[in-house]
């Protein structure tokens, strides 16, 4: 597993700041942008809850964020290097607050879930490499589908999740369940932040933002899955 070596971004999580400027971004624009970049329609609907809260008059997730730096360590990461089409895999990133103050919003941005197609006939050249799986949940007594991503961590920032406050010395793990949908080499990169407004910064050794990569290959051969004797469980061999 590789962790580090990626280029620093000038400002943490600033690339999508416009999505959170409620004074300049109409609610319906934020909603449209969120849907357009969604990895699954049903999952995108779940993410709308966060967008509505931020862009339509709810409490801002970056409210009262201090201009400060917090020492953060990525203590563990896991994601299979070799994968197959239509195969589900778990991605996990565990971080620890090594500073003396509570981090306001520990967050992770995950990039590389999509690729840009070279087909000139496509209206939208963005195509998925991995999709975030859905899990059935009961909401208000009805069965719905929710993204298998960090629970409650949806934000108005593209491909960014937060798990809220992180006390000194405490650890939290970001988890996703992904399915590979495009064969070939893949590269996922992640960056850790201490807030959602760019003021609270996560830093590691050398005052560099904690970040890393997952690299591997997705085989074009789908897994040889079979249904177990109970008629429900799907068994897939290891890649």
Per-residue pLDDT, 2: 45
Nearest 5°: CA angle at 40, between 88 and 45? 130
Per-residue pLDDT, 107: 97
How far apart are alpha carbons 208 and 111 in whole angstroms?
Answer: 18
Per-residue pLDDT, 30: 42
- pLDDT of 36 over the 50 cut: no
What confidence tier does 52 reach under pLDDT thresholds 50, 70, 90?
Answer: very low
- pLDDT above 70 covers a percentage of the chain that reads 67
How far apart are alpha carbons 49 and 55 in whole angstroms?
Answer: 10
Average pLDDT, the chain: 77
Per-residue pLDDT, 156: 86
Q: Taking residues 75-85, what's their average pLDDT? A: 96
Per-residue pLDDT, 225: 67
Per-residue pLDDT, 65: 80
CATH classification of 17-220 is 2.60.40.10, yes or no? yes
In SS3 terms, 107-166 reads as EEEEECCEEECCCCCCCCCEEECEEECEEEEEECCEEEEEECCCCCCECCCCCEEECCCE
Per-residue pLDDT, 119: 87
Q: Taking residues 76-96, what's their average pLDDT? A: 96
Per-residue pLDDT, 238: 54
Tell me the sheet residues that pair with 96. Answer: 73, 171
Spans of all domains in the chain: 17-220
Per-residue pLDDT, 9: 45
pLDDT digits (tens, 9 = 90+) for 212-237: 999 999 999 877 666 767 766 666 65
Per-residue pLDDT, 4: 45
12 burial via Cβ count (<10 Å: 0-12, 13-18, 19+)? buried
**What is the Cα gyration radius of the chain?**
19
The token pair at 133 is 């799986």
pLDDT digits (tens, 9 = 90+) for 111-134: 999 999 888 888 888 999 999 998
- pLDDT of 80 over the 90 cut: yes
Q: Taking residues 160-170, what's their average pLDDT? A: 97
Burial 114-127 (b: 16+ CB within 10 A, else e): bbeeeeeeeeeeee
Q: Taking residues 179-190, what's their average pLDDT? A: 96
**Contact (CB, 8 A) for 74 and 171:** no
- pLDDT above 90 covers a percentage of the chain that reads 49
């Amino acid at each position: 597993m590789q962790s580090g070596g990626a280029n620093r971004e000038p400002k943490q999580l600033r690339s999508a700041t416009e999505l959170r400027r409620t004074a300049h971004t109409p609610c319906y624009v934020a909603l449209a942008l969120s849907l357009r970049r969604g990895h699954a329609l049903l999952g995108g609907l779940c993410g709308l809850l966060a967008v509505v809260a931020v862009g339509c008059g709810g409490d801002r997730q970056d409210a009262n964020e201090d201009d400060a730096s917090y020492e953060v360590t990525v203590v563990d990461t896991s994601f299979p290097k070799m994968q197959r089409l239509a195969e589900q895999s778990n991605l996990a990133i565990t971080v620890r607050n090594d500073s003396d103050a509570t981090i306001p919003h520990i967050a992770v941005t995950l990039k590389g879930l999509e690729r840009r197609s070279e087909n000139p006939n496509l209206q939208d050249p963005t195509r998925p490499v991995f999709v975030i799986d859905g899990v059935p949940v009961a909401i208000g007594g009805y069965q719905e589908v929710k993204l298998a991503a960090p629970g409650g961590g949806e934000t108005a920032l593209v491909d960014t999740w937060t798990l809220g406050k992180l006390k000194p010395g405490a650890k939290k793990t970001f988890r996703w369940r992904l399915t590979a949908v495009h064969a070939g080499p893949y590269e996922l990169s992640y960056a850790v932040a201490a807030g959602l407004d760019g003021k609270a910064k996560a830093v590691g050794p050398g005052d560099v933002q904690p970040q890393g990569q997952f690299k591997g290959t997705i085989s074009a051969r789908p897994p040889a899955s079979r249904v177990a004797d109970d008629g429900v469980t799907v068994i897939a061999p290891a890649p």
